[in-house]
Amino acid sequence: MKRILIVGLVILVTAGLLIAILLFVANRKTNDSQKNLENTTSVEEAKIDPFPDDLDRDGILDVEEEKLGTSNKEFDTDGDGLSDKIEIEVLGTDPTNPDTDGDGFADGYEVLKGFNPKGEGNI
């Protein structure tokens, strides 16, 4: 019985020490993050844009979008439910025309239903 109490006490003390160490490390990281923010002189400097050359973040660089005639502010230029990148690189549909094959159904709807957005038949 005495042995069980000692083992239990050792486990509790060890768990307590482990929790204290984890809290210390977490607090230290938080303090480091706060120091980094304090060194920043403005909100604009704190912002880092991971996609500086792709404003709409659709995977197509703004320079390419200008050449293609697609919007660098909208990831789906024609609003058909398919991203410009998918239309260009996967489907071969027109990212500036919501109904590439002119059948009255938006390309995104046709893909969703399993039809070919470039003409007759299924995908």
Handedness of CA 99, 103, 109, 113 (dihedral sign): negative
Is the pTM higher than 0.75? The answer reads: no
**For the chain, which residues make up each domain, given as ranges?**
2-46, 49-123
Residue 95 per-residue DSSP state: T
Is the separation of the CB atoms in 109 and 81 below 8 Å?
Answer: yes
**Reported confidence tier of residue 86, pLDDT bands at 50, 70, 90:** very high
pLDDT digits (tens, 9 = 90+) for 28-59: 766 555 555 555 555 555 566 667 788 888 88
Query: 82-97 as b/e, with b when 16 or more CB fall inside 10 Å?
Result: bbbbbbbeebebbbee
**Reported confidence tier of residue 80, pLDDT bands at 50, 70, 90:** very high
For 28, the token pair is 């230290």
